[in-house]
Amino acid sequence: MASDRPARRAVVTGASSGIGTEYAAALARRGWDLVLVARRADRLDALAGRLREAGAAVDPLVADLARSPDLARVAERVACDDVALLVNNAGINGYGPFAEVDPALLAKVIDVNVVAPTALTRAALPGMMARGHGAVVNVASLLAFAGALPPGPLPHRAVYGGTKGYMVTFTRTLAAELGDSPVRVQVVCPGLTATEFHLGTGEAPVPGEARVHDEGGMPAADVVAASLAALESREVVCVPGLSDPGPLIGLADAELALRDGSGAALAARYRGAGRSTG
């Protein structure tokens, strides 16, 4: 007999450490059933065991989202009728000078940070819209807005920052497309966060027990608390450490001004540019 209970299952990618683990714990405390996705089976099993002891229903799903067959398996699960929340948290950094980083690693960064969340969001949305409820949270980074800043102390991040810029634009544009739909989308942009993220480039999982990089930063639990609070208030862009939302309003105003350049007339400052005067 079918249950009248609405779907209450969340899929969290990158759940084996850091922000993903904190999403899993916070959602479990709120009564969500969980599907936890990551590459490290041992970490996933340990986390699932802890959450089950606290009363949560948890299904680990071991997958490397850079691999097409694994991504297809996760997308199939995300499309199921019981999924009401998707947290696209998995991400790798591929940090390093652009001209020196292995091209295969840069392709993997794009696969994990762009291709996977796009495919999973596409898998999740039709069912959520048909059921009349659901949400997608995309984890980006404040490095999405750091394009003109040089490395030091920031990392070499051309591709990573580009992927996170994509997630910001993708989410904001999708939110505008959905309009007043009951399905919500959010992009959360944390700054430096106290996780193990900087302990590797993402080519392989960080080995051993979960730990925090030396740079410190905001506790991952606070990032998640901000994201879930913002989701309740339907904030599309959540910056956990930003007290004044004015810069986000200013960003939207600047974009509107930039779009004034879509007219048919060439701007005066470019007329005659490049022509020889000799």
CA distances from 230 to 80, 86, 135, 202 (A): 25, 15, 12, 28
Of the listed 23, 95, 160, 166, which one is catalytic?
A: 166
Question: Catalytic residue at 23?
Answer: no
Bridge partners for 183 per DSSP? 134
CA atoms of 278 and 262, how far apart (whole Å): 33
CA atoms of 143 and 158, how far apart (whole Å): 10
Residue 7 contacts residue 81 (beta carbons within 8 Å): yes
Q: How far apart are the first and last CA of the chain?
A: 85
CA distances from 24 to 27, 123, 250 (A): 5, 21, 33
CA atoms of 1 and 131, how far apart (whole Å): 18
Please give the backbone phi and psi of residue 27, each rounded to the nearest 5 degrees, phi first.
Answer: -70, -40
Residue with tokens 């995309």: 138
Residue with tokens 């606070």: 222
Per-residue buried b or exposed e for 211-244, using 16+ beta carbons within 10 Å of the residue's own CB: ebbeeebbebebbbebbbebbeeebbbbbbeeee
Enumerate the active-site residues: 166
